[in-house]
Amino acid sequence: MTALTRRIRRASAIAVALAAGSTLALAGSASAEAGHHSAPAADSAPLVTGLYQSAYSERNHVLWATSSVGRPPVTNSRLVKVDPRTLKAEATYTPPVTDPATGAVEAVYGVAVDDEHNTVWTTNTRNDSVAVYSQRTGKHLATLPGVKHAREVVVDEKHNLAWASGFGDGSIVAFDTRSFKEKKRTTVEGASPAGITVDERTGTAYATDLAGDRIIEVAPHAEDPRLIPAGDGPISVALSKDGRTAYSADQTAGTVSVIDLRKGAVTKTVPTGAGTLSVAVDRRSGRVLAANRTAATVTVVDPRKGAVVETVATGANPNHIEVADGTAYVVEKSGSGPEGQDLLHRIRLAR
């Protein structure tokens, strides 16, 4: 067990005793690979129940998180505005009510920010839609139907598009971020699009096909999607800084796959931990971070070497990882806060 692992475990344990919204700062660092790399330092804090994903706004220096509790009718769901410095919730916003009889709301799950238009986009998985909120006020601006079992959403600010994955019908749908109108829809029969990302330089979207062990590439002017092999059970995807390489979180295999997009082939497969669920890239170092839900860890991978640099223990059920400006934010569905809240971890990454 590394010193870093001990610190993160201690953070999770102490967080149980903290008051809601308080934060735990951990000083010092540990080394990995015989001292060749500095390990990240981390803070942890309880936030709310039912955490799913988070997205960072550089414009507002805010972390947006989604939470939803239970199965339909879901009555407890919130869009949470978090101060990334203190890990405290600055505000919470309740989605619109969809059924006054039961109190069901338009529960939010996936999330992305559009700093160009100062909005937040969410997937409303159980309502087969995506929604748009104001970053400034938290006001609900629009609900856009027709994305069956919408799982994830990503924003291409350069091309004014928001892309959503329709897990339920094999669709990948793009909406205009100014007018909120649907602009493009691609459907792959039998596919289960899950994670999604976009190369803003080319406008090409990439979605993982969980059922087909592949990535679906949707280029702006291509008539048909391109299908690229991935790992076993790809559920999340991220791109290298130059857009030439994709990384998939392979939930079934517990691996991260390194995929050469030009060749259309997996070049490396890196074991990261059971139930790999979410993947993100630190653009400063080029390293890849994976949240492993079953293993209760976050793994740092050097994709050039195809090797694990560091494994960090979290609490139970890390669900999503977001990396921004050398910091990783990990939402964890452990329910281990003092009032049953899920935890938010902040990990400062080594260069």
The least confident of 9-13, 72-76, 143-147 is 9-13
- Residue 281 pLDDT > 50: yes
Confidence grade of residue 299 (pLDDT, cut at 50, 70, 90): very high
What is the tens place of the pLDDT at every residue in 106-117? 999 999 999 999
Q: What mean pLDDT is predicted for residues 304-316?
A: 96
Per-position DSSP letters for 291-320, written without gaps between them? EETTTTEEEEEETTTTEEEEEEE-SS-EEE
Q: What pLDDT is attached to residue 40? A: 53
Beta strand pairing call for 327-332 and 318-324? antiparallel
CB atoms < 10 A from the CB of 311, how many? 20
SS3 13: helix
Kindly tell me the sign of the dihedral angle through the C-alpha atoms of 67, 69, 74, 75. Answer: negative
Give the pLDDT confidence of 175-230 residue by residue, as tens digits: 999 999 999 999 999 999 999 999 999 999 999 999 999 999 999 999 999 999 99
pLDDT band at 350 (very low <50, low <70, confident <90, very high): confident
- Output the CA torsion 297→298→304→307 (10° steps): -20
pLDDT higher than threshold 50 for residue 5:
no
- Check whether 89 has a pLDDT greater than 50: yes
Per-position DSSP letters for 113-139, written without gaps between them: EETTTTEEEEEEGGGTEEEEEETTT--
pLDDT at 293 over 70: yes
| 36, pLDDT greater than 90 | no
Q: Which of 160, 126, 167 is nearest to 143 (CA)?
A: 126
Residue 133 has pLDDT above 70, yes or no: yes
Q: Reply yes or no on whether the pLDDT at 62 is more than 70.
A: yes
Task: Yes or no: say if 144 and 132 are a contact pair by the CB < 8 Å rule.
Answer: yes
pLDDT confidence bin for 42, thresholds 50/70/90:
low
Is 49 strand, coil or helix? Answer: coil
Compare 304 and 20 and report the one with higher pLDDT: 304
